[in-house]
Amino acid sequence: MMKQVLIGILCGAVILTVGILIGNYGIVKSSSSAPSWVKDVVKDVDESFIEKFLSEVDNIQIQENLRELTKVPHMATTAGDEQTVQYMLKRWQDPKTGLDEAWREEYMVYLSFPDPKKPNKVTVVSPSETVLHTVREKEKSYTPDQDDPEVVQPYAAYSPAGNVMGKLVYANQGKLSDYQELNKTLDLSGTIAITKYGGAGRADKAINAAPFGVVGVLVYTDPLDINDGLMSDINETYPHSWYLPPSGVERGSFNTHYGDLLTPYLAAKEKTYRIPVKDITGIPPIPIQPIGFEDAFILICELGGKAAPKTWQGGFNCTYNFGGPGFRSTSDFNAGNDVKLDIFNYGEVKNSSNVMGIIRGSVEPDRYVIYGNHRDSWVHGAIDPSSGTSVMLELTRVLGQMVKQGKWRPRRSMIFGSWGAEEFGLIGSAEYTEQYFTKLSERTIAYINVDIAVFANATLRASGMPSVQNVIFKATKQVKAPGSVSSSVYDNWLKYSNRTSQEHGVIPKMGYLTGAGSDYAAFVHYLGITSIDMSYTYDRSKTNARIYPAYHTAYDTFDYASKFIDPGFTSHQAVARTAGNILIRLADSLVLPFICSDYSEVLKAYLNIALHLYKTQLQARNISMEPLERAVESFTSAASHLDQVIQSSDLANETPLKVRRINDQLMLLDRAFLNPLAFPDKYAFRHVIWASSSAGKLTFPGLADAFVKAESSGQSSDWDKVHYHLSVLSQAIEGAANTLVDVI
Amino acid sequence: MMKQVLIGILCGAVILTVGILIGNYGIVKSSSSAPSWVKDVVKDVDESFIEKFLSEVDNIQIQENLRELTKVPHMATTAGDEQTVQYMLKRWQDPKTGLDEAWREEYMVYLSFPDPKKPNKVTVVSPSETVLHTVREKEKSYTPDQDDPEVVQPYAAYSPAGNVMGKLVYANQGKLSDYQELNKTLDLSGTIAITKYGGAGRADKAINAAPFGVVGVLVYTDPLDINDGLMSDINETYPHSWYLPPSGVERGSFNTHYGDLLTPYLAAKEKTYRIPVKDITGIPPIPIQPIGFEDAFILICELGGKAAPKTWQGGFNCTYNFGGPGFRSTSDFNAGNDVKLDIFNYGEVKNSSNVMGIIRGSVEPDRYVIYGNHRDSWVHGAIDPSSGTSVMLELTRVLGQMVKQGKWRPRRSMIFGSWGAEEFGLIGSAEYTEQYFTKLSERTIAYINVDIAVFANATLRASGMPSVQNVIFKATKQVKAPGSVSSSVYDNWLKYSNRTSQEHGVIPKMGYLTGAGSDYAAFVHYLGITSIDMSYTYDRSKTNARIYPAYHTAYDTFDYASKFIDPGFTSHQAVARTAGNILIRLADSLVLPFICSDYSEVLKAYLNIALHLYKTQLQARNISMEPLERAVESFTSAASHLDQVIQSSDLANETPLKVRRINDQLMLLDRAFLNPLAFPDKYAFRHVIWASSSAGKLTFPGLADAFVKAESSGQSSDWDKVHYHLSVLSQAIEGAANTLVDVI
């Protein structure tokens, strides 16, 4: 009986178990089983994937990318440029390590070149036009790279052609104030001005000069500004060090606006309307030509006239005089001789290509993280831009391989852009944003720009909207500093450049994207897309060079980069790891890693400075800053509310539409700061917080500039413009706050 | 034993069942059970809810709404206006039938009023200024409504004050061509022109006149244009019929731009920058005053000079002469006498309110369907705008009740707007779009405008972007035509107004929102939001009235509306049902009911007309229309592709993010057509397809206007503008196509 009972119980238990199993697995719960997509939509960034990515980013691969990219000079639209187009396509279309798709997009853009058959000439001539001195036309060769026939003669792109001569004057940096200073004691009409790089935009050195009657301008790089004073190529400059050889010349685009100059706000397609060339604004009205300091030395040290002010002096071992105008009577050239510019630049509409590549997003393909850099250089462009391109190619190799192997696909789409014709004014990226304006505005999470990846190998430098600070910090903490086994890129950065934040304590100091220095410009200022620009850079205790010395010269070669900028390519690797980490986080995070309160912190700081600088004077004119104060308050409270919502929600268990809603609020935040009427005088600047400003104050740019103008003119119409801009600004900030509060 | 076995089997069965039950219900399948939100996010529109809604919309409720809204005159910012603000708030905050929330938003806007202490005067005076005739200052009273002291004197808002006199001329409709015609034979300088309503915008009648030296303008409504020729108040006009009594005067806003005139592109808040009043553009430069046809008859029939052309003649039983200038020598007034205008209008910045209300969306609260109408009238405004407001209040009563009872909540949010100061230039809605620009751009699915709900009770009239045609058709097929038991609003509409579509065969003819006739303007032209405007309207075989005759007069009262416009309020009911049906479908449909191909159909038609009209001449000037052709092709193929994707997807079983992605493409389509540079001379017009045009061609407005200008001036800079606009237009259409193709 006992046995039977036991058997019965046993049987019962078995049957119960079978029943439970049938009940659990045998019955399809059609009404409540989760659709297959549920798991995908709530997936967050995979930290182990990031680990894997970081470990696979390889310095030697970057080095080899650079070697390939710098084989020949590849100025925009030349045969060398086409070679890099083909190389990018080959890499991005590689079946094992390429992207989902890659293609080229062409624009017909207005460029400016020197004439190889009639090289630009700068000479010192006697009254009878006997040539007393000829400025070097080509940079001196130290390695075979400089002998490539495709090395373009140093020139000022968009300088008009022309033959001008006159007595030489020294005009410091060619700022308006520099010419005003000269004009106090000298009649500048008919003169040629020699200026230093720095202080004013390239084109401005000529634009500022023309109204004073100056007929031509020279520009050179002073050894004090670029070489920490060193000048000798016997043992001091490249190939002995990173310093610029005496004959090195910085080329550049001499224009003030960005994008194709003939098709403002329109993508430069074949049949697009083009403005007449004569209507182009923002370019030099008089010929201008860059020269090396070897020749600048000869010209400046022979100048007559009074000694220039102390702040105008440079690295030459002579006193920089204003010029008589012209040379000293005791000079080799003597006082009667002129400097003559024979400039043969010509403009041409040419076909420039962007190379585009994508990795499709799995869950939100309609959300884009864009990563880009330009491809065109002035000469071989090892640092500018090929260091960045080498980094980009290493990122896409690692990510592409994962995709091809089916191991990973980002939540959101990644778009990679290898922009054309940046050196001529950010043309490829600007045309791209014009062509795809609406689509990009609606869908782009962020733009990451890595142009020059490594200026020097000391520390990270990162700029961007304040809301990205957090994700940059997160990424930099995970990447080892080059050559270090314990210290992170973050630790190192903190050591070199930091600030105290009320919210976060002592943190690395991020920069802002207020100018148009690289291809982020159209994304930030025209589209209002949250952007990041980064690189490795200098130890400022070791050099005062305004930029790495071979910048835009024939010496910016693989040899230079690998010997003097980043031997071993470990700084390149650190940048690739950091930028890639950020890219993956932006693409894969369930909730976008943007912190709105970090934006408020900057707006509050801007407001405090504005109140301090302007409030009293504005009050006296019956202009209230209260709407701006209220707007910043609204923004601050809305931003902290949204951050709170994000932190307090269990978003992995929420409807994906709630997550998307929050992400849309974060993605579109910067769009709210756009107003096409905010800067009527600035081409394609529409972001009221980050536009460039000449006032030099750490506050709202339009307000600062309008205030300076009104204060100097004293006209009531100019004070009205201050009031107007204050209203535009307040409305934009209130509008941004409105997008951050509860959606309804 | 048998019994034991049986008991054993039974026990076993019971245990098995218990096991199955435990297995099925007792174990939480954490890994695969569907989250609770899955059902919500895939929910589509509920047809039985629409049935219920339709059955609950009540004509008597609408009638009572109208009675309440028309108790007193409620011109913008008057005490009567405030009374309607309070009433709207009371209704929308009602705990049983109100919305989730309702509030007021105030703007300080520039309005223009006559001076009650110094009424505007129009007189005929002798050379010694003896008054020979005085134009009636107030409309004649037929019901107590007209005796209300708050009835504003007829006037032209934004006409300058001034005292002017001169010989009278008859200038037809005050078009530029009318003044040019007069100017051929008459010296207009120092004259007063009398004009008819129609043909040109109100302000234009004075703006066109001033350059010819005209010093003042009168405007009246000709009985031929409004009363089908009838004139007598003894038995022909109101209160005997819907026709305008002889003393009736159409008031109106005499301005060309919309929105507050002192704060262009800025929300008119207290401390917002205001332009100086003298800088306002688009308003009459000379005094203008509207009068009744009773007085116009007296003035026109006494005019001397040559007979005006046949097309200028009107409903009076006399020949309309040009004027000598001035009266006939044989007239009662005689040739030496002048017409004198003493206008005392003044401008004032006043507080105007929008009343806003919302029903929060359950699934996508960050998507808005906005429904609105203005609240302010000129006098009692029974038809304009209270017919529309009565309809809106009935919608919100039915929907609000469902929400309060917990029976329904829309998928997306509904926003209701009762706009202020529309009559002065769509001010409340325009300021709203300026204040919330970014938020509304990013999130608004559609705007539905029902201003005058019933002009007449014959047939539906609906205008909007072509993509909404389908949902309008769907809704109208479900609503019975007023007074019919079998025929639908759709059937009835098809009978009155139809066209043949290549795609759909014979269908009702929808209109386009190309002008700025009501509050949809800022949504369509400034924000690029897909919009709908609808009403019930005339049987054109029965009347040629340019609008319902009591429009903007003191006769637009509850008595008039209920006796002559819609006795029984069944047309109001049909409009409420139709608009409400559309509103619910836009808010509740899983996939937005927009058909992109219907947009292509219109673009193709526009293109064909453009090619026909312009191609040859443009080709001769080396301007290619090919980019436009290609753009329309791209759009067509992208649109049909997206429609295909929608039709072929089982979206109820797809990830909600895929549905959202498609809905975003549909929602944002019209935004892609915006370009702030497209119409530099037209305030707040940015939609390249629907902007107003003076060329009168059914094609792209900017292209048509630019072509007319270039053809007439022949200047190459004007042909350049044609080319430029062609590029802007092509880029916008290509940009729109880019948003419709696969997202990546």
pLDDT digits over A510-525, tens only? 999 999 999 999 999 9
Average pLDDT of the residues in A242-248: 98
pLDDT of residue A23: 60
Which residues in chain A touch residue B437, judged by CB atoms under 8 angstroms apart?
735
* Least confident range of A25-39, A202-216, A721-735, B35-49: A25-39
Which residues in chain B touch residue A434, judged by CB atoms under 8 angstroms apart?
731
Quote the DSSP letter at residue B480: B
Residue A4 confidence (pLDDT) above 80 = no
CB pair distance less than 8 Å for A41 and B657: yes
- The shortest CB-CB distance from B366 to any of A19, A443, A744 is to A744
CB pair distance less than 8 Å for B435 and A731: yes
Residue A503 confidence (pLDDT) above 80 = yes
pLDDT of residue B334: 87
Which residues have a Cβ under 8 Å from the Cβ of A149 and sit 6 or more positions away? none
Residue A216 confidence (pLDDT) above 50 = yes
Residue B658 — φ and ψ, nearest 5°?
A: -70, -40
What are the residue ranges in chain B where pLDDT is below 50? 28-31
Which residues in chain B touch residue A734, judged by CB atoms under 8 angstroms apart?
435
CB pair distance less than 8 Å for B38 and A38: yes
Taking Cα atoms as reference points, which of A586, A479, A583 lies closest to residue A51?
A: A479
pLDDT of residue A22: 66
A506 SS3 class:
strand
CB pair distance less than 8 Å for A358 and B726: no
* Mutation target vs B (from A32, A416, A439, A734; most B CBs, 10 A cutoff): A439
Active site residue A422: yes
pLDDT of residue A223: 98
Taking Cα atoms as reference points, which of B72, B103, B70 lies closest to residue B88?
A: B103
Which residues in chain B touch residue A269, judged by CB atoms under 8 angstroms apart?
627
Q: What is the ipTM of this complex?
A: 0.93
Residue of B nearest to A10 (CA): B12
* Mutation target vs A (from B439, B668, B673; most A CBs, 10 A cutoff): B439
Which residues in chain B touch residue A735, judged by CB atoms under 8 angstroms apart?
435-439
Q: Chain-centre distance of CA A670, in angstroms?
A: 17
Residue B198 burial class via C-beta count within 10 angstroms: exposed 0-12, middle 13-18, buried 19 and up: middle
CB pair distance less than 8 Å for B744 and A358: yes
Q: Please, are residues B410 and B587 in contact by the beta-carbon 8 Å criterion?
A: yes
The three-state (H, E, C) secondary structure of A249-314, written as one string: CCCEECCCCCCCCCCCCCCCCCCCCCCCHHHCCCCCCCCEEECCHHHHHHHHCCECCCECCHHHCC
Strand partners, A252: A156
Q: Please, are residues B585 and B411 in contact by the beta-carbon 8 Å criterion?
A: no
Residue of A nearest to B273 (CA): A724
- The shortest CB-CB distance from B16 to any of A19, A24, A366 is to A19
- The shortest CB-CB distance from A273 to any of B266, B436, B723 is to B723
Taking Cα atoms as reference points, which of A390, A398, A359, A352 lies closest to residue A373?
A: A390
Which residues in chain B touch residue A626, judged by CB atoms under 8 angstroms apart?
271
- End-to-end Cα, chain A, rounded Å: 72
CB pair distance less than 8 Å for B727 and A272: yes
How close A279 comes to chain B (CA, Å)? 12
* Mutation target vs A (from B366, B634, B666; most A CBs, 10 A cutoff): B366
Which residues in chain A touch residue B271, judged by CB atoms under 8 angstroms apart?
624, 626-627, 727
Which residues have a Cβ under 8 Å from the Cβ of A237 and sit 6 or more positions away? A227, A230, A231, A243, A244, A245, A246, A248, A549
| Alpha carbon distance A740, B569 (integer Å) | 43
How close B415 comes to chain A (CA, Å)? 9
Residue A29 confidence (pLDDT) above 50 = no
Which residues have a Cβ under 8 Å from the Cβ of B307 and sit 6 or more positions away? B319, B320, B321, B322
pLDDT digits (tens, 9 = 90+) for A181-201: 999 999 999 999 999 999 999
CB pair distance less than 8 Å for B744 and A366: yes
Strand partners, A123: A134, A340
| Alpha carbon distance A544, A673 (integer Å) | 36
How close B628 comes to chain A (CA, Å)? 10
Which residues have a Cβ under 8 Å from the Cβ of A581 and sit 6 or more positions away? A50, A53, A54, A474, A475, A478, A479
A462 SS3 class:
strand
Which residues have a Cβ under 8 Å from the Cβ of B111 and sit 6 or more positions away? B76, B77, B157, B347, B348, B349, B350, B352, B421, B424
CB pair distance less than 8 Å for A364 and B657: yes
pLDDT of residue B32: 57
pLDDT of residue B743: 87
- Write down the catalytic residue from B68, B394, B422, B434: B422
CB pair distance less than 8 Å for A365 and B8: no
CB pair distance less than 8 Å for B655 and A266: no
Give the right CATH number for A596-740 from 1.20.930.40, 3.40.50.920, 3.30.479.30, 3.30.565.10: 1.20.930.40
Q: Please, are residues A484 and A573 in contact by the beta-carbon 8 Å criterion?
A: no
pLDDT of residue B37: 86
Average pLDDT of the residues in A387-399: 98
- Write down the catalytic residue from A250, A294, A422, A601: A422
How would residue A28 be classed by pLDDT, with cut points 50, 70 and 90? Answer: very low
pLDDT of residue A35: 85
At position B583, the amino acid (one-letter code) is: L
Which residues in chain B touch residue A654, judged by CB atoms under 8 angstroms apart?
37
- The shortest CB-CB distance from B20 to any of A12, A23, A442 is to A23
Which residues in chain A touch residue B34, judged by CB atoms under 8 angstroms apart?
32-35, 38
- The shortest CB-CB distance from B743 to any of A26, A366, A727 is to A366
Which residues have a Cβ under 8 Å from the Cβ of A647 and sit 6 or more positions away? none
Cis, bond preceding A508 (omega within 30 deg of 0): no
pLDDT digits (tens, 9 = 90+) for A341-375: 999 999 999 999 999 999 999 999 999 999 999 99
How close A234 comes to chain B (CA, Å)? 56
Query: For chain B, what is the total number of helices (H) and then of strands (E)?
Result: 22, 19
pLDDT of residue B31: 47
CB pair distance less than 8 Å for B671 and A442: yes
Quote the DSSP letter at residue B265: T
CATH topology for B119-343 is: Glucose Oxidase; domain 1 (3.50.30)
Average pLDDT of the residues in A54-59: 98
Residue A175 — φ and ψ, nearest 5°?
A: -75, 160
- Domain positions in chain B are 47-107+348-588, 119-343, 596-740
A187 SS3 class:
coil
pLDDT digits (tens, 9 = 90+) for B475-494: 999 999 998 989 999 999 99
How would residue A741 be classed by pLDDT, with cut points 50, 70 and 90? Answer: very high
* Mutation target vs B (from A9, A27, A273; most B CBs, 10 A cutoff): A273
pLDDT of residue A116: 96
Average pLDDT of the residues in A414-431: 98
| Alpha carbon distance A64, A384 (integer Å) | 16
* Mutation target vs A (from B4, B273, B526, B619; most A CBs, 10 A cutoff): B273
CB pair distance less than 8 Å for B365 and A735: no
Six token digits for residue A313: 């002096």
How close B681 comes to chain A (CA, Å)? 15
Q: Please, are residues A697 and A706 in contact by the beta-carbon 8 Å criterion?
A: no
Count interface pairs A-B at CB distance under 8 A.
226
Average pLDDT of the residues in A639-655: 92
For domain B47-107+348-588, give the CATH number: 3.40.630.10
How close A254 comes to chain B (CA, Å)? 26
Residue of A nearest to B415 (CA): A744
- The shortest CB-CB distance from A15 to any of B19, B37, B735 is to B19
Buried b (16+ CB within 10 A) or exposed e, B517-543: bbbbbbbbbbbbbbbbbbbbbbeeeeb
